[in-house]
Structure formats: structure tokens, C-alpha cells
Amino acid sequence: MTARVTFLGTGDAFNARARCHASYLVSTPSTTFLLDCGPSALLAMKRDGHSPDALDAVLLSHLHGDHFAGLPFFFLTYIFDAPRERPLTIVGPKGTEARVGDLYRAMYRDLSSRPMPFELRYVEVTPGVRCAVGPVDVLPFAVPHSQSEISLGYRVAVDGKTILYSGDSGWTEALVTHSRGTDLFICECCFYETRVDFHLDYPRIAENRARFGCRRLVLTHVGREVHEHRADITEEIGNDGLVVEL
Ligand SMILES: [Zn+2]
Ligand SMILES: [Zn+2]
């Protein structure tokens, strides 16, 4: 095994068809990390038999609740249930540290006033500027999604494998540019008929499919319309618990 991606949650913000919120567990010989951490991420890790202790880092695409509101449950776990001493790295766009702090205070006010028994290392990344997160080469890039805040996609390379994650995104040529040569493209697919500039719809993905240079494309963040058009969709749709070996 060189890399394994477990689709912990493949639902949209509304948990369409009872799917969990966005989160993807990447396990390689040298590291284990999450791409996004929706509210159900801890539940889904346990469902699939993964220890929360294994996480070295969490990469956040943007600061919408369905992508980052699972973090306080991991903090709680690391304080009480599986005490942690080693650092946890949280990577995200500018403002991540303040927003995660706000979220933690809102959810566990008493606890949040005490010092953490382990170090939280925040890395606030700049779109277009690659960085190393442990052994992972991380290239964040801006995607069109939130009007007032930065939303990111990530191209990550680790142990000889490369993954592209769209985060939540409207159509952007950056998805074509960055998919080139990747082993896996985890691509959001919220809609079918509805066309907006801050989420992707299936026909848009299908019409650009031949331009993606990825080995495997898996659709996720699946919304109601996409489920209703299941029979019209030829690309692979991820299910909660899907494991992709790279
Ligand atoms: Zn979302
Ligand atoms: Zn979003």
C-alpha cells in the first residue's frame, strides 16, 4: 500500500440521502491526515475502524461548517478519550486559527478556556504558495465558492502519489490545470440541473471530463439533484466508506 483514501463523508451540507459531511482520510506509510473535517468526521472514522489518534494533520478547504465543524470533537477526544501529547497540525486559509478558536469556544466554552494538553500548530496558507506539512507537499489554490472568504482546493503529493481535492468550488480552469498527472481527483458535485458559480453541477464536470488529466475521478459532496439523476451519470460517485487504493 502506498496510499489509501477513505471517503468518510460524501454528503452535501444537507446530508442528502443521509450521507455524512465532507471528510476524506488519507493514509500513507509516512503520514495520516484529513482533507476537511465535517461534523460527522469522528463518527465516520470510528465507523470505518480508524483510530483518531492516527491523525498528524487536518487540511481545511474553507471555513463552512460542513467542512470544519468536526474539529472540536477531535479536541475533546484528544483531551479525554484518547489523550494526546504530540502536536496536531491544522492547515487552512487565512483566518483559520481564529475561526477554529471561535468554534471551539462556542461548542465547549469551559474547556476552551483551559490550555490544551497537546500543541495545535496552525498553518495558514496562501493560494498558489506550496508548503510542506510533514512529508506532504501541499499546493493550495483559490477556488470560486465563498464570496467573502478564501476557499481553497488542494493538490497534495505524498509518498509518490498525488491527489487533487476541489473543496467546494464553482467551475474554474484551475481544476483542469491541477488535475494533470494526479492519481485521484476528489471532485465536488452538488448539483445536476442547477447551475451556479459557487458549486459544480454534473453536466459541467462531464463536459470537461476529457480535459482532466487524473487517473481516477470520484465525485463527492453529492446533493439531492445528483441522486435523482443517478441513472444519467456515468462517472464514479463516491459512497461513505469508499476506500481508494493508490
Ligand atoms: Zn460544503
Ligand atoms: Zn462551502
pLDDT tens digit string along 31-50? Answer: 999 999 999 999 999 999 99
Label residue 108 by pLDDT band (50, 70, 90).
very high
d(CA 117, ligand 1 centre) in Å: 31
Q: Supply the pLDDT for residue 225.
A: 98
- Whole-number mean pLDDT of the chain? 98
pLDDT in tens, 190-211: 999 999 999 999 999 999 999 9
Q: Determine the 3-state secondary structure of 139 from DSSP.
A: strand
Determine the Cα–Cα distance for residues 76 and 96; give it in Å rounded to an integer.
19
Cα separation of the two ends of the chain: 8
The answer for residues whose C-beta is within 8 angstroms of residue 68's C-beta and 6 or more apart is 36, 37, 38, 60, 62, 92, 99, 100, 103
Label residue 2 by pLDDT band (50, 70, 90).
confident
Q: Is a pLDDT exceeding 80 seen at residue 1?
A: no
d(CA 62, ligand 2 centre) in Å: 7
The answer for residues whose C-beta is within 8 angstroms of residue 10's C-beta and 6 or more apart is 19, 20, 22, 220, 221, 222, 237, 238, 239, 240, 242
Are the beta carbons of 13 and 65 closer than 8 angstroms? yes
d(CA 168, ligand 2 centre) in Å: 5
Determine the Cα–Cα distance for residues 90 and 78; give it in Å rounded to an integer.
14
Indicate the burial class of 66 (C-beta count within 10 angstroms; 0-12, 13-18, 19 or more): buried
The answer for residues whose C-beta is within 8 angstroms of residue 119's C-beta and 6 or more apart is 86, 87, 88
Query: Can you say whether residue 167 is alpha, beta or left, with left for phi > 0 and alpha for psi between -120 and 50 degrees?
Result: left
Q: Which of 66, 168, 183, 240 is catalytic?
A: 66
**Nearest bound ligand to CA 21?**
1
Q: What is the pTM of this model?
A: 0.98
pLDDT in tens, 67-94: 999 999 999 999 999 999 999 999 999 9
Q: Supply the pLDDT for residue 189.
A: 98
**Nearest bound ligand to CA 145?**
2
Q: Supply the pLDDT for residue 25.
A: 98
d(CA 135, ligand 1 centre) in Å: 27
d(CA 68, ligand 1 centre) in Å: 10
To the query of whether residue 201 is one of the catalytic residues in this protein, the response is: no
95-117 burial, b for 16+ CB within 10 Å, e for fewer?
ebeebbeebbeeebeeebeeeee
Q: Which residue has the cell 500543541?
A: 119
The answer for residues whose C-beta is within 8 angstroms of residue 7's C-beta and 6 or more apart is 24, 186, 218, 220, 238, 239, 240, 241, 242, 243, 244
**Nearest bound ligand to CA 38?**
1
